[in-house]
A and B are shown apart, each in its own frame.
Chain A
């Protein structure tokens, strides 16, 4: 059991998430707490079992409530634990502190935190004795209690500020063997108290006095509403930040109490371990920095000891004091001395590498009394750092990489400081020394240095370029040497290209990287002279280099294409022609060339290369891609090609670098290209068609067919009645236009649509009529659709419908378009409903027909439709076959005269057939494609209007009825169906 618990805890600590996947935090916590109470479990195992709570309290106690309960449990375990198990008891205190703080339980309303604080304060004093206690155990427990109090105070500032005097008393007791813990605790409480006091407006010496004399009762129950426990302050940041000092407390010169406390703490600081001493000194530095009444000179007595120390943390503490107090503690001589000391420490043989690096960093952030540079936290050399002083910090070939880089950086800064940014800057040997050092590093790389040596050389080169990129002599020489290096060791291509990339992005003089790439191009294409002698690997690197070079618009690519042609057509060795990797490398270059601004000049030779690869390469995948590129090159416009390639290159996320990280450029290319060339599906509609005229309004009047011949043939006024119908019908047959209706819409974005579709281009709308109602429609093209720019009219869309039956119907719509992400999308639109009224057309007669002829046609049709259903033919024309579908009907609507006039004007104006002889009746003739008619005689009666209807298609009557109901309903509210 015990062993399994040790293993379980280890497994939890290794990966809490994996552990909790097989159980729950709740169960695990319950188990842990149960084992703590189990008397059969040894205290060693119990100690181990505290670790999960101690390291991941928030995982096991996700809420303050659980934290509170857990703490109460643990405190009961503590009270039952015999004092001899010191280590367990200490760990229990630490765990309690951790759980309380992490779960946010430290408050007056938490029983656990009140009880725990009381316990800690009792432990920290000598009052909590157990007869069985042994002195060393007592000491450990008390030190642990102090440490817990210190951490609680650090996490919840001012928690203990009421107890400063008590703590001071404990600290000054004659022989407190845990004086270190008490000093540390006191310093943190003091620092937090002063900090919060300094933040209060109007706080002064009285506040400070009250703070130092604070001596609340130990029993917390006495004051559960203590402000410290109710207002939980957040942990306080350091007041010695780089952005200047924190708040200050105006106290006047009289701070006797504080000064005496500080002096006594400082006097005894020597007795503390270096780490605790540094923390104490730092806290006191913060206090003195905040209290104007205490002179920093109070630290003077400690300075020599600190300046001579071999411990990093103590010397660092001195530097931080220097930063806080500048010339109020350090004279100009002190500053010079401190700097000399720091430089010596940067390379002291007794210092570890990490310490040397840290000191070197402190050197370039040296806190000067009179800083000249802007205090932006950046690197700057102290004015007093002369070249003579810095000479001991020059890099050597035996330095470790980090040390070398740090020293190269400092030496370069020193040189620049001395000689400015002058071109050449050759006055001193400094630059020459650093340059030679770089060459030594290069020598190591050239002669088979390991990976670390290679990486270090390129980092050093970059650093050198950052500082001395303006010195053309060396910049050009470095370029040349890098090319030579690449020629000898092609495998270093990624490093060289990385340097070029960084130089291009970074502070190196512009143009250097392009010049390097141009030279590399020369090196790579020169291999084309004797391809058989070039190893497969080298060829791979050459192509990688050329792919990068092809990204540079300023570099001519003629030689690259020639090289590609040579590679593509090289006969030997034959295995190369089968090599997928080589083929894809080659295509990667082509791909970049496709996007090159000088593509026009390369068009033919590049097409040759692609065609050759597409035909002759041994690998299908490579052939396919070559063919794709060939098609892209020859079929797409420059703009579209650039768009496709920009998308395909992964440009959306990091561009060049990301692309490079993929081992096989081909894979990413295919995916991105596919993405660019695929139609993506939008899940929800993006835009819709809105009828342009009144809601569901009229079709645009189709101009009547200009059939002059027909007009001339027999439609002149005065023709006989029978001829009217027959000529009407014959022209109806011959003219297809009558069967079409044109509907106008506007294309608009939906108010609530998916993001990323605000700017759309090249929209192609496709319509799918509902079964059998309309003939197939042609697609409609709209050049663009922008959401913004309300001023611009939305694009108009006119749909020309050819109904197959005279009934309303629906058009299913969809669209293909290009969105601003340059991908092509397919989206459905809301259906377009074609209402019955939208099918109405005036009688399709030639324009030459006057009102008289139209009236006559109306009368003839009326007669025909209202004649008895014996099938009597009205005319000889084919369209007028006697039909059983003819019908007459009557509809009554309650309308006044004026209302009727309005209705006629609004709904029937285009379709009225005027009869000058009949002042009371109105005739309306609705032609409904493809060939139906509805005739209305509208007669106002006393209190209603009669709509007499005649039609050649009785199936239309319900629709007409509905229509009339709808138009009269709002007029009369109570239409009566006949």
Chain B
């Protein structure tokens, strides 16, 4: 349940690699040595670890097309744990080195294996999930995905690492994940004699009580316009809360409700501050056929809120139709560089026709620049980007009354410069990607009623709830070209 060492590494696409921070935990190392016996492998110095990690991650020697140690097809990296081969002997292996990598940041740690030989399965080591949790916590502390290695954000955060680790992982056993906000703004400590305070609520709020509950649903979609290929879409929602309420152990209950015919929320995950869960809430699962009699709310989440904003719960939902149904046809004309484009987008009648924004993007890969764009749209307006390889169809805030928009026309590619390359989108394999956000809407119909939020506290807080729908990876593939998906349904 402890980690032996921790590394924070930055790189720019495999170049300018450096260990920006590392920490070893000699007491855990002492245990590792004793537990592993003859199979013990000491942790080498940072530079050696870095090189081994890069090799395993496929980032070493970026200039060389093939390096046997790096590219061997036997290295089936199917788990978040890597093996580092410190020397060529069978015993000189560091395992399991957990790595999470996002953008320029690589975080790695080496959990303690509390067993000797033979090597136990990864899933039997609690230190692995502990290590992953710590790494993910550190990742979001260091700035999540928006990190720039040279930017202002990372260096000051890295400078805080020693004191952060003293708090969250003083001797190699992770106790908590660092809080993204500055620790000094923590609330006032509780007075003696009050009830027991959760370790994750390090103080009390003083000031105007307020509760904010935001429900965001995200829809992902793959439409192929081909009967042999199954269109796929899914919806998942997240409830984010910020509760400024007084008390050492305040009690808040948020209730999610569905419309009468709504399909049940599935795969519900709750924040650990939720005090109790009803088994009926957890029953519905997206991977199961489920039974029609499934529970469909209300979903009650009683909890004691942390001081900072947090994700109260998340869920997935199966909706019968995607919000925008599209068809995309791209046809090769007789001239090589001439394409005929025809797009039709239809907003489903159940979806509120009020967008914060809505646009469709048509990228063209593996071609030269567009020279002539002779395309008409029935609504909104069309932009061509500066590089002349992307059409942006801005639909604005509303679909027309018919809830249907079309785009027709021809595009000639005879520019001088080659456009972007994508090995997937060759020939007529092409897509439209939709970007939209609809305020005050959820596809599942799920909502948080302002009045259903209960706060057991002396002062009545101000309660604000909101909801919205946004798209992510919403693709409509050209139906006249091969789409990059296995045909048919997966039925083993």
Contact = CB atoms under 8 A, between A and B. Distances in A.
Contacts of A55: 23-24, 26
A430 B490 contact: yes
Contacts of A352: 100, 136
A695 interface: no
B58 A452 contact: yes
Contacts of B78: 357, 360-361, 402, 405-406, 409
B116 interface: yes
B170 A415 contact: no
B124 A242 contact: yes
A556 B283 CA distance: 63
A139 B276 CA distance: 29
Q: What's the interface size class on A, roughly?
A: 35 or more
A276 B199 CA distance: 9
A58 interface: yes
Contacts of A494: 65-66, 68, 71
Interface stretch (B380-388, B392-400, B421-429): B421-429
Nearest to B276: A305
A434 B492 CA distance: 10
Given A307-B282, A313-B133, A391 B490 contact: yes
A449 B65 CA distance: 12
Contacts of A271: 196-199
Contacts, number: 385
B121 A502 contact: no
How many interface residues does chain B have, given as a range? Answer: 35 or more
Interface in A462-521: 462-463, 491, 494-495, 498-499, 502, 506
Contact of B76 (A144, A405, A448, A453): A405
Interface string A361-401: 11001000000000001000000000111111010111001
Nearest to B126: A282
B186 to A, nearest CB: 9
A320 B218 contact: no
B235 to A, nearest CB: 9
B171 A499 contact: no
B486 interface: yes
A94 interface: yes
B423 A444 contact: yes
Nearest to A416: B492
A357 B123 CA distance: 11
B150 interface: no
A958 B172 CA distance: 87
A857 interface: no
Interface in B159-175: 162-163, 166, 170-175
A432 B487 CA distance: 9
Interface stretch (A231-239, A523-531, A684-692, A762-770): A231-239
Say what secondary structure dominates the interface of chain A: helix
A432 to B, nearest CB: 7
Contacts of B172: 151
Interface stretch (B256-264, B267-275, B401-409, B445-453): B267-275
A419 B23 CA distance: 49
Nearest to B23: A55
Contact of B31 (A47, A154, A430, A660): A154
A391 B491 contact: yes
A175 B276 contact: no
B478 to A, nearest CB: 15
Interface stretch (B285-293, B332-340, B345-353, B368-376): B285-293
A90 B170 contact: yes
A365 B26 CA distance: 31
Interface string A79-92: 00000000100110
Contacts of B486: 394, 432-434, 436-437, 440
Contact of A180 (B25, B135, B175, B270): B175
B416 interface: no
A101 B124 contact: no
Q: Which of B130, B198, B271 has the most CB of A within 10 A?
A: B130
B391 interface: no
A340 B176 CA distance: 28
Nearest to A18: B45
A358 B118 contact: no
A135 B189 contact: yes
A365 B123 contact: yes
Contacts of A839: none
A758 to B, nearest CB: 26
B133 A311 contact: yes
Contacts of A406: 78-79
B484 A282 contact: no
The 10 closest A-B pairs by CB, nearest first: A430-B492, A387-B492, A316-B129, A310-B269, A436-B486, A238-B114, A494-B66, A180-B199, A354-B80, A447-B423
Interface of B: 1-2, 19, 22-27, 29-31, 34-35, 45-47, 58, 65-66, 68-69, 71-80, 98-100, 114-116, 118-124, 126, 128-130, 132-136, 162-163, 166, 170-177, 189-190, 192-194, 196-200, 218, 220, 234, 236, 238, 266-272, 274-279, 281-283, 285-289, 311, 313-314, 316, 366, 421, 423-424, 426, 473, 484-492
10 contacts: A54-B26, A102-B30, A240-B124, A344-B287, A345-B269, A355-B80, A361-B78, A377-B120, A430-B491, A444-B424
Interface of A: 13-17, 47-48, 51, 54-58, 87, 90-91, 94, 97-98, 101-102, 135-136, 139, 144, 147-148, 150-151, 154-155, 174-175, 177, 179-181, 184, 234-235, 237-238, 240-242, 268, 270-279, 282, 304-305, 307-317, 319-320, 323, 337, 340-341, 343-345, 348-350, 352-355, 357-358, 360-362, 365, 377, 387-392, 394, 396-398, 401-402, 405-406, 409, 411, 414-415, 418-419, 428-430, 432-434, 436-437, 440, 443-453, 455, 458-459, 461-463, 491, 494-495, 498-499, 502, 506, 657, 660-661
Given A238-B114, A307-B277, A350-B269, 6 more contacts: A237-B116, A304-B282, A312-B129, A316-B128, A349-B316, A409-B76
